[in-house]
Amino acid sequence: MAIEGDLAQMGAFLGAGLASVGMGGAAIGVGNVVGNYLSGALRNPAAAAGQTATMFIGIAFAEALGIFSFLVALLLMFAV
């Protein structure tokens, strides 16, 4: 019984660690959004100010999925 419990806990910890890999994906996504915004903004600075809000919406959507992976990790650590 004790070994089974330990195994389950090990699985939860491993899963939490694996889930945090998803944050790397969110980092790539956010970097992509901001990088493309910046390269566009440097070509046409006049239009840049109007698109900041769109950029933030894009960041928010990309970031949400990273936060989901964080949530999965938290659930595995504390709720399972």
Partner 1 sequence: MAIESDAVEQELELAIHPMDQFLVKPLFGGSDIGMFTITNATLWLGITVLCAIALMVLGTRGRAIVPSRSQSIAEVIYVFIYKMVEDITGKDGLKYFPYIFSLFIFILVANVVGLLPASFTTTSHIAVTATLALIVFVAVTVLGFVKNGTAFLSLFWVSAAPLALRPILALIEVISYFVRPVSHSIRLAGNMMAGHAVIKVFAGFAVVTFISPAAIGAIVAIYALETLVVCIQAYVFTILTCVYLKDALHPSH
Residue closest to 24 by CA, chosen among 66, 58, 61: 66
Per CB under 8 A, does 57 bind partner 1? yes
Run of H or E including 78: none
Per CB under 8 A, does 21 bind partner 1? no
Per CB under 8 A, does 13 bind partner 1? no
Helix (H, G, I), strand (E, B) or coil at 44: coil
Report the residue from 68, 76, 79, 80 that binds partner 1 according to the rule CB under 8 A.
68
Per CB under 8 A, does 10 bind partner 1? no
Any alpha helices (H) in 20-51, and if so which ranges?
A: 22-43, 45-48
Question: Footprint of partner 1 on this chain (CB under 8 A)?
Answer: 50, 53, 56-57, 59-60, 63-64, 67-68, 70-71, 74, 78
